[in-house]
Every structure is written in C-alpha cells, then in structure tokens.
Amino acid sequence: MIAEKKGAILILSGPSGCGKSTLLKEVYKKISDYYFSISTTTRNPREGEVHGVDYFFVTKEEFENDIKNDDFLEYALVHGNYYGTSLKPINEALNEGKLVIFDIDVQGHEIVRNKLNDIVTSVFITTPSLGELENRLTSRNTDSSEVISNRIKNAKEEIKSFQEYDYLIINDDLEEATTQLVSIASITRSKSKLFDKDFIVNEWMN
Ligand code: ADP
Ligand code: 5GP
C-alpha cells in the first residue's frame, strides 16, 4: 500500500548559540525531502550570512508592512528584533509533502503549535550548562559583548520552556546530538495524523 503523506513540521528552538545551525548542517547530510524555512528578520546580518540563505534581511518598515499584509504564519520580537516565518513558501513545501524545518524561538513555537498542532513535532535544544552557552557565544565571535549579555539573559528564561516541546536534545557531543535529531526527523514522518484516514482504511479493507 502506497499512502501519500501530508507534509510535516519540525520545530527547533533553544538559546542562541546552543548549536542549532551547526546541528542542522550535519542533519541535512543525512535526511532528504526537507525544506528549511528561511525566516525574515530586522536584525543586521552577521559576517558570512547571506540574504536569502540564512535569512531575508529587511528593514523594520518592510517587516511591519508584511505584518499588515498578513504574510506571516508567525512572528515575534526576539532580543529586540523582529523575526518571522512567511506563510507562502511553507504552504508550498507542505503541499509537496515535505518535512518543513523551523529554527524559531519559544514564542513562535507556541503560535505554530496552536495553529498546526496535528502536523507539528518540536525539539528544544540546549547546551549542557549556561557556562558552556557563554563559551560558545563568545568563541563564535559574531556578536558584541552587549548582544551576548542580552542573549544570555534571554536564555535563562527560554530554558524554562523546554517541557513545552516533544523532545529535548542536550547538544554536548555534536555527533550524538546529530544522531538524535536525525532519528526525530525520521519519526516525525510517521505521525498518524499525517496519513489520509479514508485512504488507509479503504486500502486496508481491499
Ligand atoms: P545557534 O544556531 O543555536 O545560534 P550555532 O550553530 O551558531 O548556534 O553554534 C554556536 C557556536 O557553538 C558555534 O561556534 C559552533 O561551532 C559551536 N558548537 C555547536 N555545537 C557544538 C558542540 N556540540 N560542541 C562544541 N561547540 C559547538
Ligand atoms: P539569531 O539572531 O541568533 O539568528 O536568532 C535569534 C533567535 O531568533 C533564535 O532563538 C531563533 O530561533 C529565533 N528565530 C529565528 N527565526 C525566527 C522566526 O522566524 N520566528 C521566530 N519566532 N523566531 C525566530
């Protein structure tokens, strides 16, 4: 029986600097049929970040215009900047039956959960400790000490939300964390709600 599956959503959240982007790069080598949701943000690009690859970098006016036009599935103010997920590319990828991967904050997770609960699986990612988060943010060398302090302050709040998520990954050993995330991405595609009930039942009867 070949059952056509609906698209699914995998949400990753966790303190800035815990290693979400690094982990995702490893995971992409091992999974297929996915679409990474490129967010729109008003924050400035970091060195090496590319418009249309890492983010769509826009002005506050452009972002607020998109809000007015109802272009976002969700958006939030994070660390003083707007971040949002545009609805159109997500709908297209879901219609193609893809696994749509989001790297969004805890506020965004709550919004998407409330809107699309049946097709959402979520993972909270963190470092083994706050001290290690500070080390990673410092050694990444992309943000000023003021920006890092702000991210650390937010991280202390964000960690309290980890039980809102289906899974927790403590990104200590990168290889181990990658194996865990690949397993979760794979099992996400087997959620019962992703199958067409009439099709499964009818095929099974025949
Ligand atoms: P995020 O996307 O969550 O903001 P990054 O992927 O940019 O975080 O990672 C932050 C820093 O931590 C980077 O310098 C990255 O190389 C490093 N890093 C990521 N995962 C690990 C790990 N398991 N062990 C040690 N360093 C890591
Ligand atoms: P950074 O500036 O480090 O790339 O991201 C900062 C935070 O914003 C991270 O927690 C990241 O998950 C979150 N983020 C990135 N894109 C989005 C988005 O589209 N929506 C929401 N709500 N959060 C986002």
Note the pLDDT tens digit of each residue in 176-190. Answer: 999 999 999 999 999
pLDDT band for 39, please (50, 70, 90 cuts).
Answer: very high
Q: What's the total number of domains in the chain?
A: 1
- Does residue 3 form part of some domain? no
* 161 alpha carbon – ligand 1 mean position (Å): 20
- Does residue 206 form part of some domain? no
Q: Give the domain CATH number at 174.
A: 3.40.50.300
Among the bound ligands, name the one nearest to the CA of residue 75. Answer: 2
**Which of the listed residues 12, 18, 22, 23 should we mutate to test ligand 1's pocket, taking the one with most ligand atoms within 8 A of CB?**
22
Closest CA to 77 of 64, 65, 89: 64
Question: How far is the C-alpha of 8 from the C-alpha of 4, rounded, in Å?
Answer: 12
SS3 87: helix
Question: Are 74 and 104 contacting, i.e. CB atoms less than 8 angstroms apart?
Answer: yes
pLDDT band for 6, please (50, 70, 90 cuts).
Answer: confident
Tell me if 66 CB under 6 Å of ligand 2. Answer: no
Tell me if 107 CB under 6 Å of ligand 2. Answer: yes
- Does residue 94 form part of some domain? yes
Most confident of the following: 43-47, 106-110, 192-196? 106-110
CA angle 73, 75, 81 (to 5 degrees): 155
> What's the residue count for the chain?
206
Ligand 1 atom with the shortest distance to the CA of 174? 23
Ligand 2 atom with the shortest distance to the CA of 40? 19
* 80 alpha carbon – ligand 1 mean position (Å): 22
- Does residue 2 form part of some domain? no
Question: How far is the C-alpha of 94 from the C-alpha of 51, rounded, in Å?
Answer: 23
Mean model confidence pLDDT for the chain: 95
Domain span including residue 17: 8-201
Mean pLDDT computed over 117-131: 97
- Does residue 136 form part of some domain? yes
pTM of the model: 0.96
Mean pLDDT computed over 62-85: 97
- Does residue 72 form part of some domain? yes
- Does residue 1 form part of some domain? no
Tell me if 16 CB under 6 Å of ligand 2. Answer: yes
pLDDT at 162: 98
Question: How far is the C-alpha of 77 from the C-alpha of 159, rounded, in Å?
Answer: 17
The yes-or-no verdict on residue 24 having pLDDT over 70 is: yes
The rounded percent of the chain whose pLDDT value lies above 70 is 98
- Does residue 155 form part of some domain? yes
* 40 alpha carbon – ligand 1 mean position (Å): 21
Question: How far is the C-alpha of 170 from the C-alpha of 31, rounded, in Å?
Answer: 20
pLDDT at 2: 67
